[in-house]
């Protein structure tokens, strides 16, 4: 209960941080190709922080070489907008999250993943184009290292 009493105000404070991205168009939805291929979503929580989600079809099964599998990942990412300057914005971003992968006839796997990438956020239209790599440590069914990478585009609402 003690931790709950601390967590509720912390979540409220975190969610109420004013953000230009969040005030303008906080939610983006689009497509990504690579590992995985599917739907990508992003929810800005502040000027530099966001949650990133992916839902799709894994085109590479690392354990047995089959070419199919359901994939879901969720990451908390931090953006650095000062690294590359131009008319649009090219933030580098990094973060940590988790991944669930399940293939037909195969035991599901869970992994902890780091993510590093670069995005292009033009002034107009409300989109971002991204390229990211995600080194992942599979925890189940057996420990293993996986490198995932994807490129994608999201439209912000």
Max intra-chain CA distance, the chain: 49
pLDDT digits (tens, 9 = 90+) for 29-81: 999 999 999 999 999 999 999 999 999 998 765 555 555 789 999 999 999 98
| Site of tokens 């969040």 | 22
Q: Provide mean pLDDT across the span 133-156.
A: 94
pLDDT of the residue at 142:
84
Q: Provide mean pLDDT across the span 7-12.
A: 45
More confident residue, 64 or 27: 27
Could you give the CA distance from residue 97 to residue 53 in angstroms, rounded to a whole number? Answer: 9
| Site of tokens 């669930």 | 100
pLDDT of the residue at 127:
96
Using DSSP's 3-state secondary structure scheme, residue 126 falls into coil
pLDDT digits (tens, 9 = 90+) for 109-136: 899 999 999 999 998 899 999 999 999 9
Look up residue 111 and give its two tokens.
């992994």
| Count of C-beta atoms within a 10 Å radius of residue 7 | 10
| Site of tokens 């992916």 | 54
Burial class of residue 55, CB neighbours in 10 A (0-12, 13-18, 19+): middle
More confident residue, 86 or 81: 81
| Site of tokens 């995005």 | 119
pLDDT of the residue at 18:
38
* Ordered structural domains, the chain, with CATH: 27-156 (2.40.160.20)
Query: Partners of 91 in the beta sheet?
Result: none
Using DSSP's 3-state secondary structure scheme, residue 9 falls into helix
- Is 94 a residue whose pLDDT tops 60? yes
Could you give the CA distance from residue 70 to residue 43 in angstroms, rounded to a whole number? Answer: 22
pLDDT of the residue at 69:
85
């Amino acid at each position: 209960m003690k931790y709950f009493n601390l967590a509720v105000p912390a979540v409220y404070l975190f969610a109420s941080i004013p953000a230009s991205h969040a005030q303008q168009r906080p939610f983006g939805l689009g497509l990504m190709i690579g590992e995985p291929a599917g739907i990508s979503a992003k929810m800005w929580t502040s000027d530099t922080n966001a949650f990133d989600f992916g839902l799709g079809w894994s085109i590479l099964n690392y354990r047995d070489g089959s070419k199919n599998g359901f994939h879901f990942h969720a990451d908390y990412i931090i953006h650095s907008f000062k690294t590359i300057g131009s008319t649009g914005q090219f933030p580098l971003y990094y973060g940590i999250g988790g991944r669930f992968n399940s293939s037909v006839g195969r035991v599901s796997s869970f992994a902890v993943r780091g993510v590093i990438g670069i995005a292009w956020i033009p002034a107009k239209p409300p989109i971002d184009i991204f390229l990211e790599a995600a080194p992942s440590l599979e925890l189940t069914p057996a420990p293993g290292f996986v490198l995932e990478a994807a490129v994608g585009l999201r439209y912000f609402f």
